[in-house]
Structure 1
Amino acid sequence: MKKQILFTLILFMSLTFTVSAQSDVAPWSVGLSWGKLDYTGDYGSNLVFSSPESIFGARVSKYLSPRFDASFTANFGKTGYEDDNGVSQFTASAMHLGLHGQFKILKDTKFIPFLSAGLGYASFGADGGSSADDSGLVLPTVGLGFKYNISDVFGLFVHTQYGLYSGDDYDGNVTDDSNDNHLITEIGIGFNLGKKDMDGDKVADSKDACPETPGLKEYDGCPDSDLDGIIDGEDDCPQVAGLAQYNGCPDTDGDGVIDGDDACPEIAGDAMYAGCPDTDGDGVGDNVDECPEESGVSRYNGCPIPDTDGDGFDDENDNCINTKGDLQGCPDGDGDGIADKDDACPDEAGPADAKGCPDADGDGIGDKFDKCPDEAGIPELDGCPKVRKPTTEEIINGYASPMILFERGTIPAEGYDDHISSIVEFANAYPDAYLNIGGYSDSMGSESSNMRMSTRRAKKVYNSLVKAGIDPERLYYEGHGEANPIADNATAEGRRLNRRAIVTGSTVKRVVEKKGKKG
């Protein structure tokens, strides 16, 4: 019962401590154990862990490598054998010293199974009334076991060693056909001794460049999370394997732009386009180019300037974006070089200064807007000429009365008196005016008779003006015969129009004396 309580206590203690495993930082380990030394020999064989007696042990281990440890063990206690009826056949004191190596089947884990082999020294002595003989012998040992590291410096172990004892006398019963051997099985706790390793990375703090962060021995205890050969503290991309030339960051497409800054990390490009290519060479990276195969401009997201109406003029150089045309993108229906939108007469060719309209008088005002289309004028008068007020002299010299017609001889046609009144009105308005009266005839008579008749007609008008109050000194009359006809004398109508008299104004008095003239 006491043995079971002791075993339980040791196991409980081992499970309540937390520290770390034996390593090159903590290469030494010491341990205490309790167990059994089971007998196999002339009397029979105990089952594993069935000896009636117990042994206690101590050990020192040295870490050699992730695969190998070396151990020195010392066990002291008793062994013996009871038959099936519980009768003791012998009891002996036991001491076993061992030096062996351990091959760790698993490495760098909490649970480490191992195989062991080495040399041991066993010594047995009679105990009380036992028949066992004192004996001691060096013997080879083989075994197996496991360690369970509860923490970096504290753990459990179970170890079984089989001692190949070549003698036959430690049980006090010597025969010729068998040797006395034993099996040591022990359960214990171990304490790892060594330098301080705050982060538990098996690199002593004194040699650990990153003592508070678990790392790798080859990097002096600093971590390399992405295993790219660059420690995290110097790695700009510690979670992604990269290249030293980019401070540990990757450049998947090899374009010199690290993936974190590369908008196209799997397609080689140019740094000026955030690592993306510019397939069409328009200065807009493919990642933002809406027309990556067609050269364009940035303000249209890499696409060409649109040509909405498809006339070959892009919209920025097309004055008529929605209408096809050849004149800066605009139509010119009349072909006068003025776009229809600017042409006041789009269906009639005209000059630009007349807004594209015809300009018959060439005054720069299109006929459509020209109130005097046949006479050059000015814009202020809507295309009509600016009228200068004539001088009195110009009015007088430019005066011509209406034609005064005669039915025959000196008999005037209808309207004679109205014409005389009009002439008198002019004479009175311009008292400095001189009036010249000319008479004419048709060609029906002789020239001489026609001359006389034309003079008589001029004389009649002369007399009527004098009678109306016009100073004779202002008057001059003469006949011209059938000269200067205004119509065809071959017709009655023509002859009627040629039988006439006319009065003209002058600022100069006529002084030439002629037969029949009276002044």
Structure 2
Amino acid sequence: MKQLKLAMLAMFAFLTVSNVSAQDENNPWVVGFGINTIDVRIPTEFGDYVKDYIGTGEWADNTLPSISRITAEKYLDAGFTLQLAGSLNKIKTFRTEDDSDLLYWAIDANVKYDLNNLVGDTSWFDPYVYVGGGYTDMDTYGGEGMLNAGVGFNTWFNDNLGLNFQTGGKKEFAGKVQDHFQHSLGLVFRFGGKDTDGDGVYDKDDACPEVAGLKDFNGCPDADGDNIKDSDDACPNVAGLAALNGCPDTDGDGIADKDDACPTEAGTKAMNGCPDSDEDGIADAQDKCPTEAGPADNGGCPWGDKDKDGVLDNVDKCPDVAGVAANNGCPEVKPVITEEATAKLNEFARAIYFNSGKTTFRPGVTGKLDLIVGIMSEYSKANFNIEGHTDSQGSNTLNQKLSDRRARAVLDYLVKKGIPSSRLSSVGYGEDYPIASNATRDGRAQNRRVEIKLRK
């Protein structure tokens, strides 16, 4: 019992003063040695079960005061490890205190699963569960194969040295060996990792296994010491900034010196690092008027305005005659059609009536259509869109199709009368845009209409 308590105290002492590191897969081999204790008395009641398991009364009686357990382990894959263990013990407490003097020995093979694969790496602490089997001999009772299961953990003091605690139960099948618990505590050593370049980063995790580097960069070097590994550093031999892929920026303008046409004078990216004081897109060194914004085709100097119409000469289509900006500096042009003529078009369009549910015109409508032809012919530069509308009677789908066909019927009539089809377009809106209530006969009549809009 004293040995177990001393080992536990040693574990906590190590944890407080040691430089711990995460368990890794680079050291696939582990050997360990320590002590073990056997608890044969397994109660039937749950409460007594817990009390007996936590209690340590028989631990002292069933523990040898020397190294009594040796293990060898090999990491497999995906958190699984094969553990081989041999243990030796003396059992003095079997059913009652100090009632036996039995020699105990066991050889076991267990498969461990590292729980860090489920909860995330905890650096120095590696808990696990295990299951396996082995052969156990209990002196005069004989020996037999047993099923093993339990839990344990490793606490690592550094990359290679750690402390192991494991506890679990053994289940018999042949009735020779009593079911029992086995607890163990010992030191473990892991080894087998390969580090070709000797930089302290194992080859398996080393992105540059043949070139010594830094742990922070997965084993890759940083020759200029700017905290950017050489493989990502556009200027690996000159310390620079992370924002510039490791290259320096002497003038602090955000452009790496290697790409800066004026590396000692702050400038803009648009000017390849050179200054542009008047922000006209021409570097000061090439700008004839560096403090006045102007276009490149005028040497960086501003344009004049000969006709004083507010439109600079370089964009003025009529530089010698005052005009308006809307017409590129030329005098204002009258609209292609007057508002009065537009109003007349819509007045005539509202008088276009169709036979019920059809695309044929009612009597007298063609006279209004001829008046529309006259206005469109007078304003030959204007283009028009003919819009058809219906009332809400009937389905929306049928009304949509009917409005399309009626608008098209008007367009076809106008083309037949000489209006170029390139000046016309048509569209139907069905019952979606009423101008009066569809609840009344008069309202529905108003909604069955054609409108003509100026097409811009």
Bucket of the pairwise TM-score, normalised by the shorter protein: 0.3 to 0.5
Q: TM-score, normalized by length of structure 1? A: 0.40
Q: Which has the larger radius of gyration?
A: 1
